[in-house]
């Protein structure tokens, strides 16, 4: 899962040689021209993205700051958990349609190829532990006899697995992975499992749409290491001016509280910008 913001490009459509290279994508699928439009920022996002609406609000704020209008294009989704095929589709979209791609995870040692570059994060959002039992105030209050649910193939799940395997056998929890977040919520609410580890924006959406989620509250997950997804914008590496403008726009929107206001609107907990305090 994960997401990012956008900025300005200048006028007129001109036909110049595209700098993007193909990494397994047939060249005939890539338009060999540059798109230069003075008043429009073409924003792509994953229609199945967990924070798609939030990303759109942030993209619109960035575009407005850059005196541009945001034009949204949606696609992607439906990929296997391995992500096979995603990078090829992403390259085609970024070459032919998009100035920026929102909602991308910003991390060191990024797996993205050399034609792509990421902005600084516009938001950092944590994984949380949600429970119903009033007696639980932290993870270790939950007896190891109680099973815990995790969001399948999520970063929070991977961190929990690593921590859990490092514990003495008698101190390990039994983990049940879920692909259906509503079902996992139901199992916590009816007492079948002791709690669930889920990305906080997903829990916020559940609380709006699933009455059972309103019964749940979050408790500290320590001693499990904190897991935070830092979300930013993907651009083409050749668009150096655009990247500098987007980074400056993100800084300004974090500094003036605009990102925090959008987070409050969606019920998101976390940190505007980079959770590590690096801007």
- Greatest CA separation found in the chain? 67
Assess contact for 13 and 35: CB atoms under 8 A.
yes
Tens digit of each residue's pLDDT (9 = 90 or more) over 136-185:
999 999 999 999 999 999 999 999 999 999 999 999 999 999 999 999 99
Q: Return the CATH superfamily for domain 125-219.
A: Periplasmic binding protein-like II (3.40.190.10)
Confidence of residue 110 (pLDDT cuts 50, 70, 90): low
State how far the Cα of 231 lies from the Cα of 119, in Å rounded to an integer: 9
Q: Tell me: pLDDT of 17 over 80.
A: no
Structure-token pair, residue 44: 């792509």
pLDDT value at residue 84? 59
Number of Cβ within a 10 Å radius of residue 15: 9
pLDDT value at residue 277? 60
CATH number belonging to domain 27-124+230-272: 3.40.190.10
Share above pLDDT 70 across residues of the chain, in percent, rounded to a whole number: 80
Q: Domain spans of the chain?
A: 27-124+230-272, 125-219
Half-sphere exposure in the Cβ direction for 3 (13 Å, CA): 25
Assess contact for 182 and 206: CB atoms under 8 A.
yes
Judge if 27-124+230-272 and 125-219 fold alike in CATH terms: yes
Q: Hey, CA dihedral for 96, 74, 234, 122, is it positive or negative?
A: positive
Structure-token pair, residue 264: 């409050």
Tens digit of each residue's pLDDT (9 = 90 or more) over 41-62:
999 988 888 999 999 999 999 9
């Amino acid at each position: 899962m994960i997401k990012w913001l956008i900025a300005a490009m200048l006028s007129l459509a001109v036909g110049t040689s595209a700098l993007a290279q193909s990494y397994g994508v047939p060249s005939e699928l890539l338009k060999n021209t540059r798109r230069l439009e003075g008043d429009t920022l073409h924003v792509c996002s994953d229609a199945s993205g967990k924070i798609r609406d939030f990303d759109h609000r942030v993209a619109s704020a960035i575009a407005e700051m850059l005196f541009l209008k945001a034009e949204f294009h949606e696609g992607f989704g439906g990929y296997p958990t391995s992500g096979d095929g995603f990078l090829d589709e992403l390259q085609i979209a970024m070459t032919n349609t998009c100035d920026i791609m929102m909602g991308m995870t910003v991390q060191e040692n990024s797996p993205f190829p050399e034609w792509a570059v990421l902005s600084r994060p516009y938001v950092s959002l944590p994984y949380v532990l949600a429970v119903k039992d009033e007696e639980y105030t932290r993870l270790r209050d939950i007896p190891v006899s109680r099973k815990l649910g995790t969001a399948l193939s999520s970063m929070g799940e991977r961190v929990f697995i690593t921590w859990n395997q490092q514990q003495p056998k008698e101190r390990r929890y039994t983990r049940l992975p879920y692909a259906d977040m509503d079902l996992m919520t139901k199992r916590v609410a009816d007492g079948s499992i002791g709690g669930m580890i889920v990305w906080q924006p997903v829990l916020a959406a559940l609380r709006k749409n699933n009455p059972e989620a309103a019964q749940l509250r979050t408790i500290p997950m320590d001693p499990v290491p904190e897991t935070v997804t830092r979300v930013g914008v993907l651009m083409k590496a050749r668009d150096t001016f655009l990247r500098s403008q987007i980074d400056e726009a993100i800084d300004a929107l974090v500094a003036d509280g605009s990102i925090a206001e959008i987070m409050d609107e969606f019920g998101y907990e976390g940190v505007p910008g980079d959770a590590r305090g690096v801007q």
